[in-house]
Structure formats: structure tokens, C-alpha cells
Amino acid sequence: MQFKDVLGQDELKSNIINLIQKNQLPHAIMLLGGEGTGALPLAWASAQYLMCQNKQADDSCGECAQCTKVKNLQHPDLHFSFPFSRMAERKPICNEYYGDFRNFILDHPYASDTEWIQSLGNDKQGNITADECRDILRKLQMRPYESEFKIMIIWRPEYMGTEGNILLKFIEEPTAKTILFLVTENLEKVIATIQSRTQLFPLKRLSLEDIKLALMRRQIPEDKAIQFARLSEGNFHKALSFSNDVDNDFLIWTRAWLNAIFTNNGLEILKWVDEITENDKDSQKNFLYYFIQLLEHTVRFKLVGASNLLLLEQEQKIVENLIIKGLEAYAIEDITNLINDAISQIERNANTKILFHALSLRIQQVILRKKATA
């Protein structure tokens, strides 16, 4: 993983590179970033830069033996600790799960811890055990095999709980050339004794432009890339999830649904329900998230106009039409609540044909009720 592969975070990347070049990088760094902002890839890229045999001014070379091993997560001096859902036949340490973790992270570097734990096929709560904390100490007390540095990346230290106190003395007095990256999404859940012994490096939320361009590099058409980037709310992994719907046209679904609802055409509603329920449940939920966002943009459009909304031309026409039809903010709030409830029911495996038909009628009732009281 090179810095160029990490989306955004340009200021923080430059800061880390500068500290490494000056030999001033703290030995214990807390990278704080929301889901999908790239905290784990940034720690990974930093480790590669530290170990690179031919450092460039702004990145690792990506070609030396050290870079190749770090890139493939096979370097003997780069260690990972992460939450896992324990299986009876395996010991309670990360080494038992590292092959699974390596394959998962190579494929999904921006994924969430929940998705990683679910990938193990075990529905138990994940954690980082006391045995794992002791194993971290064992690894870091060994001499380096190949590199100048020993590096430990602890992904989601909030899973350690008070067991993390096992690491305190080592964090205070590390062995030479030892670097710890602690990658968290929720600093408040990391025990205070560890927080106080690390230097905080916060990540920024990814910009729409960063995510849009990254999606376009994956051959996503620009209009779809804009839609998915908006929906992702700064979470690149979520944007990738939405991009699975690149062949579905949310705009067409939206126009057909609104037309059937506003014209009170029962047959068209049934036809629309049949069409949308032919898609998988993730696509159905993604469409509903998209529809909620259009409703939110309708409110913003009324308040501030089209500036900074980054709507596609056809989306703006839908928003303007909703305003012309008198859809007010209080009606939008009621409709949004109905849709959020529908999303929850889809996640609980409700019958989606019944659900979408009932949702259409309830939205229609909200519109008619608000018109009657207007």
C-alpha cells in the first residue's frame, strides 16, 4: 500500500512523511478516522514507507523487496492485531486468524470491522483478548528479522477494553525502532490510559470529489460516480457498495414511483413494486437511501437553491417538481421516517412486495393528508 493508493488525507500524509524523514515519528500513533475514511490503509502505507529501501520524496518506491512484502502483508516485521469472533478450535490470538484477515484486507482495505467479523461466519461478538495483548508484547519484544523497524498495527483498539492495560508499560517504554499504529473509529471507547500514551492523528472525512474520481478510475460512469459519492457521505467502502448497483437506474425508479403515487394510479404502483422487488435486497435498500437523499435535497433546495447540492440535471428536475407539487418539510420528515422503517424491515427479511406496496400507499396518505391541511 502506497500513499498514492490512500484516498484524500493529503495534509496528514505529508505530515507523516515529513516526520519519518526527520526521524521524529512518534512511537505510538492513534489514527482516528470514521468508517471508510482510510485510517487502516494510511497506517499500512506509513508502514511501507518506513520499511522502504528506496524512499521517494512523497512515497515508498513500491518495488523493493521490503515494499513488496508489506504490500502483500507478508513482512515478518509488520504485525497486525484486530478484533475477531473466537472459534472453539482456534486459540484466542490473531495469529490463528491472520490468513483470513490478510485475504479480507487485501480485497477490502476500506471495509468495516463488522464486515470482517461477519466474514468469519461466526455471529459472536468480536474482541481483542488478553491473550492477544500478551502476544502483541511477545512479538514486539523480538528483534527485527529484515527491517530496521518493528511495526504493529492495532486495528480497532476499542475492542481491547481494560485488557489493553497489559500494553501500557510497553507503550511507555518501547524497544528501539518500534512503532505502533492504533487505528480507531471511536476514540471515546479506547481506554483513557492508552489514549494518554499515544499521539492523536485525526483523519478528515473524504470529499465527494475524491470518492467520485476513485469510482471513475474503477470504470464507473461519471453520473453514477456522483450519485454513489453523494450517498456514501464520505465513506469510500459504502460508495463501493453502492457501485454494485451501477446497472440499476435509481432515477428511472424514482420518476416511475413518484408518478404512480402522485397520480394515484394503483396499477402503476403494483407494476413498480413488481419491478423493484425483482432486485436483491441490497439494491432495494440502496434505492431507498437514494430516495431519502433526494428528499433531503428538496428541503435544502428550497432554503439555499441549487448551489453546492451537486445534483444531476434530471435529479434537479425531480426536486423542482416536488417543490412545485407543494411537498413541505414536515411531509418530507414523515415520508423519511416511513422509508427508514421500511429499510429496517427489509433487513429483518420482510416480504418486500407487501412492504413496498404498503409503503407506497402510506406515502400517498402523507401527501394527501398534508394537502388537505395546507
CATH code for the domain in which residue 56 is found: 3.40.50.300
Q: Are residues 74 and 170 in the same domain?
A: yes
Q: Copy the grid coordinates of residue 277.
A: 422487488
Specify if 300 maps to a domain.
yes
- What's the DSSP call for residue 326? T
Identify whether the C-beta of residue 152 lies closer than 8 Å to the C-beta of residue 28: no
Q: Are residues 179 and 252 in the same domain?
A: no
Residue in this structure with the C-alpha cell 416511475, named with its chain if needed: 256
Specify if 49 maps to a domain.
yes
Specify if 241 maps to a domain.
no
pLDDT score of 132: 94
Q: Are residues 273 and 135 in the same domain?
A: no
Please give the Cα distance from 82 to 129 (Å, whole number).
10
Specify if 129 maps to a domain.
yes
pLDDT score of 238: 86
Q: Are residues 36 and 136 in the same domain?
A: yes
Angle, helix 250-262 to helix 352-373, in steps of 10 degrees: 50
> DSSP letters of 50-73?
HH-SS--SSS--S-SHHHHHHHTT
Specify if 79 maps to a domain.
yes
Q: Are residues 56 and 197 in the same domain?
A: yes
Please give the Cα distance from 145 to 260 (Å, whole number).
67
pLDDT score of 161: 84
Identify whether the C-beta of residue 236 lies closer than 8 Å to the C-beta of residue 211: yes
- Give 10-residue mean pLDDT values along the chain (374 residues): 95 96 94 94 97 94 95 96 85 92 95 89 84 93 89 94 90 90 94 94 93 92 87 88 78 90 90 92 90 86 70 82 82 91 92 94 83 52
Q: Are residues 45 and 151 in the same domain?
A: yes
Which range of residues forms the domain containing residue 153? Answer: 3-204
Angle, helix 250-262 to helix 266-276, in steps of 10 degrees: 160
Q: Are residues 197 and 58 in the same domain?
A: yes
Q: Are residues 31 and 161 in the same domain?
A: yes
Q: Are residues 158 and 48 in the same domain?
A: yes
pLDDT score of 308: 64
* Residue that terminates a domain, selected from 181, 204, 227: 204
Please give the Cα distance from 34 to 31 (Å, whole number).
10
Burial of 195 (0-12, 13-18, 19+ CB in 10 A): middle
- Find the helix or strand (DSSP H, E) in which 79 lies: strand 78-81
Helix, strand, coil share (%) of the chain residues, nearest 5: 60, 5, 35
Q: Are residues 167 and 279 in the same domain?
A: no
Q: Are residues 185 and 268 in the same domain?
A: no
Identify whether the C-beta of residue 146 lies closer than 8 Å to the C-beta of residue 76: yes
Q: Are residues 185 and 329 in the same domain?
A: no
Specify if 155 maps to a domain.
yes
Please give the Cα distance from 263 to 261 (Å, whole number).
6
Specify if 240 maps to a domain.
no
Structural domain total, the chain: 2
